[in-house]
Structure 1
Amino acid sequence: MRAAFSVPWFLVFSIAACVPLRLSASEPDWASLTLRDVEAIHADIEANHPGPHNILDPTFNQQEAIAYQRAMAWVEKVSDYSGYFWTLRGYLASFNDDHVNISPTKKAPVLPSRWPGFLTAFDGHGQQVVVTRLDNAPVPLGAALISCDGVPAQILADRNVAAFTTTWSLESSRREVGWRLFTDMDNPFIQRPRRCFFLVDHHSQTVQLRWRRISASEMQKYEFVARQHHVESIGLRVFPDGMRWLSLSGFDGAPGSAEAQALTRAITALKQNRDIILSSSRFVLDLRGNSGGSSDWSRQIAEIIWGRKAVEAVPVTKEIDWRASPGNVDMVSKEWRQLQLSPDTSQDMKTFVSRVVSGMRKALQSGSVYWAESDESQEGKSPSRFFPLVHPTIFLVTDGSCASACLDAVDLWRALGAVQVGRETSADTLYMDERTDLLPSGLIMLRLPMKVYRGRLRGSNIPWEPVYHYDGDMRDTRTIASWIAHLPLSAEARKRP
């Protein structure tokens, strides 16, 4: 059987021979600390990332070398934590891969936040407009940004935001992070806007920006408005019109986590309501706010709704190459031991991880760079497709936060016939399944992929576009449900009473 799963990245492992530094009460030597962490990232990529040996990605090493040299040049300018953080962020953003990333530990200082009293966001036409503000902000909601300090709005966003994020070419990414243009988190490698021009009611308005501090919790409130970010509680509900709706705002695979427990309860409810769902005309799978985790969940859900035979008949990636490094073998082995004790993890997932561990160990022992995970269940068989003859129309709601295992869900469910609605998803490269390493400073966790897809049907950094695009507020569940209730049904669903 094909185990098209993404392994959860809940385990934390340190880079070999890297002991976290103890920061003294006095200000540390930030340049030296940054240098050590940049070198550790560079070494970890060489040791564990599939890219350095991937002949189908011939520019990987050159691009990594350029990014590394740029980061090394920035090291000389680092004098505080902000410079340290943005050097690392800029280094990894150059990979244009959300699975190559960093996150601060609890030991890290908090970056200060400032803003001018308003935030802009990209609309569906590439225009940056004011979407949230203080009551006394100098510009109204809906004001469109023209330029700042003589720099056109788009170029300014490219310089100050795109250089430190990934997949900027996607509409979903610009919607997700475009709000950062009018935030200041002490990035020493950009110039903060001072004087901007906006279009207000067909007239140009000049605004002298007055930057002020804002707490992280307050900024998050405005950020969520700008992104239209919404996270529903995981679970099955019934709307007044009888439409059933399964909210799946995360796919955390960590054994015992609150999210995993909520998903287990949701799957139980789905099983109990399966007959009612399949006799209805509409059913909704809501992935808003889901940024990934383990694709084991989406497969379990698919087998309940469509049946195991239908799921196994879906075309899959022909082959996956796992980087067979000592570090990766150690990571997956430790994960396998934890998964054996988890009641929330399916037996398919446990079997799959066991096979990965065994295969990677054999590849490592033989001196192979990769272990090739192939579809053993399809050997000697001709391609086939199986789908239930009668079914409701299953609508799949997505937004721009859908990445990693969430994209795996969209891949699978769309192939089974689900109709995607809402907004464009995020995207991922062919490098997947993260390992997590603590950098020598102890301030940052590094995330790197361990495997590379071969022949995946969805290409590298290609998002899913909805069949029906929703232009309204993605936080308004009731209105979205009403909109879905009026969308066309499939031929089978139209036969329902």
Structure 2
Amino acid sequence: MPAEQWQAIALADLRAVHTAIIDAHPGYIDPDNPGVRAWSEQGYREAQALIPRVVNYDTMMSAVRYYVSGFQDGHLAYSDNVRSGDFHEIVNGWRVDEQHGKAVVTAVMPGWSDPLPPVGATLQDCDGRTPEAIVAEDQVPYFDRRNSRSLRNGMFPEIGSLRLSGQELKQCTFIRPDGKTIALKVVYRSVRTMDVWKSLRSVGAHSPARRNRYDVVDNVLWIRAANFMPGPDEAKELDVMLKEIAALRDVRSIVFDTRGNAGGESVIGQRIFAAATGGLVFNTTGLDRLPVVFAQWRVSDISISGVAHYVDEMSKRHGPNHARTQETKKLLDKLRDGRHVGNTWVDTAGMPRLTRAEVASRGGWLRRFAGKVAVITDSDCASACLDFVDLIRLVPGSLHLGRTTASDTVYLERAAVPLPSGNVLFMPMKVWRNRVRGDGEALVPHVELNIDFNNDRAVRAAVLDVLR
């Protein structure tokens, strides 16, 4: 496809995203966060200026993602679902991954006619820039601008791909495994996505466990709370698991392991916590004097469509008469009524704003458990996973172990907005008011674990050592 056609697609998607932000994003009309509206216009102008540098599918996505990533919101995202294996990417023939603070060559394209660095070599610089600088300047603006070590480390492989025309690297310096320094000219070629995936993308691919499960060893209840988006069958398995957990006795420690959990439905975490502990109890005297945490949903055609989709999903997952399904139906009715009368927001019922110190001052305890409680996070924990960790951290004496989490803005619950390209914009629909965890705030563990988080034995050993 000629570059002009990709540019037209990029511009059409960009215009559609801009319109959707104005029409439906809660932040666009949020007086507490004028930065959303400011970027919606400034970023739109900057992204439009990138259109002439679009030459293929990937660069088309870069122009649109430049705009979307500028909001620094994990619930606002531009999908990649119309990519075809027969599309072509512009790549330089090698891939690097971040390994212990270095950019190490982990794969090269076979049959490349120009010299390539050997696997195992370390990338030192390209055109005088370090790998970290290249990621920050050439990759981050077109993927995800949130300040997350995990996100940035995950972008190192993208150094080998062209985000926009004009960003081509010219010469890179490597240190070979034998210690010799080599300087190589960087040559780009257009290669089928399918071939890039086979040779470069699939290297080191790891899919974390996404299954909820538990075991009890030496009176330690270990719960893998990895999947907060269960399908119908997984939801039934969860029901069985929670009944079994609630019936356990003689447990001296509980470990909630959230590795691999990037969010989903917050009520899943609440149910797991309640089954394991009986729930958090405290003196409620004067609770009505505390600020109230509540959500406001922006009334729009997009939010109505998004919540209608939620109703369908809840009905499939829990059944049409389940309390969660009925609760979501009521929200949908409120949004429709709000649109009919011209309201801007629909408020949902709130709860007292509780901090760990507040719970402790009220003598907080767990209804059915008096032992040690810990939660493990990796750096991908976001959205409903963060809500789960917030809940556990309220327990007096609980321990948060692992790595600093990802972060959320106060804008949550996503609707899917179809775009001219066939890709989708995921749009947040509500804003939290008075939430304890701040806008864009990550959760820092009480004890950081510097271990291989893909190694279950290493994680278990490290956690049990801390608990002892």
Same-fold status (TM-score > 0.5): yes
Q: CA deviation at 1:193?
A: 5.7
CA RMSD of aligned residues (A): 3.6
**Structure 2 CA distance for aligned equivalents of residues 154 and 194 of structure 1:** 16
Matched, 1:470 2:449: yes
- Identify the match of residue 342 of structure 1 among 307, 317, 332: 317
Deviations 1:352-395 (A, max 9, x none): 323322332333233221112232799xxx99674226433233
2:243 is matched with which residue?
271
Q: Distance in 1 between matches of 2:401 and 2:202?
A: 26
Structure 1 equivalent of residue 374 of structure 2: 395
Q: TM-score if structure 1 supplies the norm length?
A: 0.78
1:183 to 160, 173, 180: 160
1:451 maps onto 2:423 in alignment = no
Task: State the Cα deviation string for residues 406-437 of structure 1 (Å, max 9, x = none).
Answer: 11211122223542222111111111111101
SS in 1 for 2:401: strand
| 1:221 CA displacement | 3.8
- The whole-number CA distance in structure 2 between the counterparts of 1:341 and 1:60 is 35
- Which residue is 1:3 aligned to? none
After superposition, the C-alpha distances for 1:58-80 in whole angstroms (9 at most, x for unaligned) are 22222111111122222233343
Superposed CA deviations along residues 320-360 of structure 1, whole A, max 9, x for unmatched, are 11101123123213432452353379944224323322332
Task: Report if the CA contact (8 A) 1:148-1:197 is conserved.
Answer: no
Within 5 A, what are the aligned runs for 1:39-438? 39-106=15-82, 108=84, 110=87, 112=89, 114=91, 116-121=93-98, 123=100, 127-130=101-104, 132=106, 138=117, 141=120, 143=122, 145-175=123-153, 177-185=154-162, 187-188=164-165, 190-192=167-169, 194-196=171-173, 205-208=181-184, 215-224=196-205, 229-238=206-215, 241=218, 243-252=220-229, 257=231, 261-276=233-248, 279-308=250-279, 310=281, 318-343=293-318, 347-375=322-350, 386-388=364-366, 390-416=369-395, 418-438=398-418
Post-superposition offset of 1:38: 1.1
* Cα pair 2:382 2:406 within 8 Å, conserved: yes
Is the partner of 2:466 in helix, strand or coil?
coil
Unpaired runs of 5+ in structure 2? 111-115
State how far apart, in whole Å, the 1-side matches of 2:169 and 2:109 are: 23
Q: Are the equivalent residues in 1 in contact too, given 2:364–2:395 (CA < 8 A)?
A: no
Identity of aligned residues (%): 20
| Shift in CA distance, 205/404, structure 1 to aligned 2, threshold 3 Å | same
Instruction: Rate the CA distance shift 1:167–1:116 in 2: closer, same or farther, 3 A.
Output: same
Cα 1:59–1:232 shift into 2, 3 Å: closer
Post-superposition CA distance 1:3-61 (Å, at most 9, x none) = xxxxxxxxxxxxxxxxxxxxxx9998222222221111111111111111111112222
The answer to which structure, 1 or 2, has the higher relative contact order (CA under 8 A, 6+ apart) is 1
- Give the direction of change, closer, same or farther, for the CA distance of 1:39–1:317 in structure 2 (3 Å limit): farther
Higher mean displacement: 360-369 or 189-198? 189-198
**Structure-2-length-normalised TM-score:** 0.82
Partner deviation per Cα, 1:175-209 (whole Å, 9 max, x = no partner):
3x2323433155435333631255989x7834426
**Cα offset, 1:461, TM superposition:** 1.4
Q: Return the letter of the residue paired with 1:302.
A: F
Listed as ranges, the gaps of 5+ residues in structure 1 are 1-24, 490-497
Counterpart-to-counterpart distance in 2, 1:110 and 1:141:
29
Provide the secondary structure at the position in 2 that maps to 1:318: strand
2:413 is paired with a residue of what secondary structure? strand
Distance 1:152 1:343, change over 3 A: closer
Q: Which moved further from structure 2: 285-294 or 127-136? A: 127-136
Aligned partners of 1:393, 1:209: CA distance in 2, in Å?
57
